[in-house]
């Protein structure tokens, strides 16, 4: 067990899991920071775009990349609609909006289950094969998740920190009234945040689907991990989400290889409660 290939395997697994969780968690956290809404349907959005990918790719026989682009665009469009017709009506009402997102989760998952059944599906992977790296075998699917995930995260970082729209998002997160006084349109920012967060979840589905199965319940895992990551990293903080995401990803990968995945999940819950006890505002010393 204690050989170099094993550790390389654990490390790549950790990065893959981290990228997967971060892409969903960052969307969840942006919506939470800007609109003060816990969108429980975020995992469902991931599931929906994976399903969309499956329909386009397998049932209609389109190219994987083309259907991926369509799925991301479709999901972003869904984000606009959801924001405009559902979440905007309950803006600023914490419990009602939360309850409504729970209702969406139930309704959408039930509808997908009715249409496609509970049997797991899979898309044919366009990235077959694996290569040897110091004795560890790493599949191309994992490389795609790592490269694509890290690129997207870096892109999001540049967007949030260096573009005008990203700065506006951070301004609204830090001080809503002051941002309004400086002429930032809150409704536009909310729409933008929904587009970004839905598109990132769809991108996660595009990257991860070749190596995972697709069924109506796959949204729960990233949702749950995303919630833990947000508590770890602090609400509304993109950097915190990154840090929390890598911590949870690596804990799962390490605990999953030495014990088993269930213990890893319980372990991350214990960490969550411990963090709440000693550092309730998250791990990072200040907001970024």
Partner 1 sequence: MKFSPFLIVAIILAGLPALIGDPYWLHVYIMTCLNIILAASLRVLWNVGLLSCGHAAFMGIGAYTSALLAKEIGLSPWLGMLAGGGLSVVVSLALGYPALRLTGIYFVLVTFAFNEVFFLIATRWREFTGGPSGLLGIPRPTGIPAGKLAYAYFASVLLWLSLIILFRFEKSRVGRIWLAIRDTELRSRCVGIQTTHYKLFAFGVSSFFAGLAGAAYAHYIGFISPTDFTIWQSIYAQIYMIVGGVAAFAGPILGSVVLTVLSEFIRAAGPLQSVVYGTMLAVVMLFSPGGLVSLGRYFSGWFKKKKEASARV
Contacts 24+ apart (CB under 8 A), 119-125: 119/215, 120/213, 120/214, 120/215, 121/54, 121/58, 121/213, 121/214, 121/215, 122/213, 122/214, 123/53, 123/54, 123/57, 123/58, 123/64, 123/209, 123/210, 123/214, 124/57, 124/58, 124/64, 125/210, 125/211
Indicate whether 119 belongs to the interface with partner 1 (CB under 8 A): no
Indicate whether 107 belongs to the interface with partner 1 (CB under 8 A): yes
Q: Cβ closer to partner 1: 138 or 190?
A: 190
CA–CA distances in Å: residue 82 to residues 78, 226, 239: 6, 20, 26
Stretch that binds partner 1, among 92-100, 148-156, 164-172, 248-256 (CB under 8 A): 92-100
Q: Cβ closer to partner 1: 150 or 272?
A: 272
Residue 206 near residue 53, CB atoms below 8 Å: yes
Indicate whether 47 belongs to the interface with partner 1 (CB under 8 A): no
| Residue among 1, 119, 181, 273 that touches partner 1 (CB under 8 A) | 273
Residue 130 near residue 138, CB atoms below 8 Å: yes
Output the smallest distance, CB 227 to partner 1, in A.
5
Indicate whether 252 belongs to the interface with partner 1 (CB under 8 A): no
- Shortest CA distance to 246 belongs to which of 14, 62, 27, 49? 14
Indicate whether 276 belongs to the interface with partner 1 (CB under 8 A): yes
Output the smallest distance, CB 217 to partner 1, in A.
10
Indicate whether 86 belongs to the interface with partner 1 (CB under 8 A): yes
Stretch that binds partner 1, among 11-19, 54-62, 104-112, 173-181 (CB under 8 A): 104-112
Output the smallest distance, CB 178 to partner 1, in A.
21
Would you call 120 helix, strand, or coil by DSSP? coil
C-alpha to C-alpha distance for 68 and 52, rounded to whole angstroms: 9
- Shortest CA distance to 288 belongs to which of 178, 160, 152? 160
Stretch that binds partner 1, among 6-14, 99-107, 125-133, 136-144 (CB under 8 A): 99-107
Q: Cβ closer to partner 1: 105 or 193?
A: 105
Residues engaged in binding partner 1 (CB under 8 A): 32, 36, 38, 86, 89-90, 94-100, 102-111, 113-114, 216, 220, 224, 227-228, 230-231, 235, 262, 265-266, 269, 272-273, 276-277, 280
């Amino acid at each position: 067990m204690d050989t170099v290939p094993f550790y390389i395997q654990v490390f790549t697994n950790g990065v893959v899991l981290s990228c997967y969780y971060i892409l969903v968690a960052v969307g969840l956290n942006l919506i939470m920071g800007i609109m003060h809404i816990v969108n429980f349907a975020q995992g469902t959005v991931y599931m929906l775009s994976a399903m969309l990918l499956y329909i386009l790719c397998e049932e209609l026989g389109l190219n994987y990349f083309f259907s991926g682009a369509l799925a991301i665009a479709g999901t972003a469009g869904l984000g606009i609609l959801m924001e405009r017709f559902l979440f905007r009506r309950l803006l600023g009402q914490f419990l009602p909006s939360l309850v409504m997102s729970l209702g969406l989760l139930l309704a959408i998952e039930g509808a997908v289950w009715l249409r496609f059944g509970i049997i797991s599906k899979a898309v044919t992977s366009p990235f077959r094969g694996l290569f040897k790296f110091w004795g560890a075998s790493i599949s191309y699917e994992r490389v795609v998740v790592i490269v694509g995930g890290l690129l997207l995260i870096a892109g999001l970082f540049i967007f949030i920190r260096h573009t005008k729209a990203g700065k506006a998002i951070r301004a609204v997160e830090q001080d809503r009234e002051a941002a309004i006084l400086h002429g930032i349109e809150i409704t536009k920012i909310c729409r933008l945040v929904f587009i970004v967060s839905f598109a990132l979840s769809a991108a996660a589905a595009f990257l991860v689907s070749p190596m995972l199965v697709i069924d109506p319940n796959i949204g729960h895992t990233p949702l749950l991990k995303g919630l833990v990551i947000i508590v770890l990293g602090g609400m509304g903080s993109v950097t915190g989400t990154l840090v929390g995401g890598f911590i949870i990803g690596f804990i799962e990968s390490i605990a999953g290889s030495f014990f088993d995945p269930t213990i890893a999940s319980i372990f991350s819950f214990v960490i969550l409660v411990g963090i709440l006890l000693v550092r309730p505002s998250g791990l990072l010393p200040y907001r970024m």
